[in-house]
Amino acid sequence: QKEVEQDPGPLSVPEGAIVSLNCTYSNSAFQYFMWYRQYSRKGPELLMYTYSSGNKEDGRFTAQVDKSSKYISLFIRDSQPSDSATYLCAMSPVGGQGGSEKLVFGKGTKLTVNP
Amino acid sequence: DAGVTQSPTHLIKTRGQQVTLRCSPKSGHDTVSWYQQALGQGPQFIFQYYEEEERQRGNFPDRFSGHQFPNYSSELNVNALLLGDSALYLCASGADHENTEAFFGQGTRLTVV
């Protein structure tokens, strides 16, 4: 069993839709959870960073972590064509190390938002 | 601030050859991590350098080696290239013991033929 599972999609939605992206994990040591966005031929860029269970909101993006179920989600409200990208979940057992922690990534979900 | 810069952007090598990829971290960052991202997969951690030493290593063979220089820049070396080494190689930099995130470069796309 992989440490982090993520449905690769692809996922295609109309502009304005609410998008739900999910990952499950098996390692209970994971404490820090991240969502990265990766445009084609680019490096990943950090969207959301959360610690332990709970919700975090940033503009149109909401990240949820349920450690009891080992399940994390990213919601995108009012999706835009510019949101079309691959979304990667990433996790780490430690954090707050200035970005020097080892990250374990999911496979990524390819999202297309159609105008 | 140029962020994390990687060179070259693209590279084609033949099986059995050796390759060196380079990374300059974001200004103020002192740790460099390398990841391999195969097509359709998420990045996989190769290793991390801090204070010119390899601090952590992922599940990669000894053919993968690295180096960090006094100016914090880093190199990734891969010997005896295999077709399966074809991937996007990402460098991420961070500032040890500071409350900041890892920043990724745009990657080097390596094709082994």
Task: Please report, for the domain that includes residue B90, its CATH number.
Answer: 2.60.40.10
Digits of tens for pLDDT over chain A (115 positions)? 789 999 888 999 999 999 999 999 999 989 889 999 999 888 999 999 888 788 999 999 999 999 999 999 999 999 999 999 999 999 988 765 555 678 999 999 999 999 9
Q: State the pLDDT confidence band at B99, using cuts at 50, 70 and 90.
A: low
- Statement: residue B8 has pLDDT above 90: yes
Q: Is the pLDDT of residue B14 over 70?
A: yes
Q: What does the DSSP assignment read for chain B? A: ---SEEE-SEEEE-TT--EEEEEEPPTT--EEEEEEE-TTS--EEEEEEETTEEEEE-S--TTEEEEE-TTS-EEEEE-S--GGG-EEEEEEEE-TTSS---EE---EEEEE-
Specify the amino acid at residue B30.
D
Q: How many domains does chain B have?
A: 1
pLDDT of residue B96: 73
Indicate the pLDDT class of residue B2, thresholds 50, 70 and 90: confident
A50-53, long-range: CB < 8 A, 24+ apart: A51/A95
CB pairs A-B closer than 8 Å: 81
Per-residue pLDDT at B102 = 81
Contact B89, B36 (CB under 8 A): yes
CB contact, 8 Å: B14 with chain A?
no
Cβ proximity of B113 and B15 under 8 Å: yes
Is the CB of A9 inside 8 Å of chain B's CB atoms? Answer: no
Q: How far is CA B109 from CA B6, B11, B99, in A?
A: 10, 6, 30
**pLDDT confidence of residue A96:** 56
Least reliable range by pLDDT among B41-50, B59-68, B94-103: B94-103
pLDDT attached to residue A5: 95
- If you measure CA to CA, which chain A residue comes closest to B57? A102
Specify whether domain A4-114 bears CATH 2.60.40.10: yes
**Structural domain of B49:** 5-112
- Closest Cβ–Cβ partner in B4, B42, B50 for A106: B42
Assess whether pLDDT exceeds 70 at residue B1: no
A9-13, A26-30, B15-19, B54-58, range with greatest mean pLDDT:
B15-19
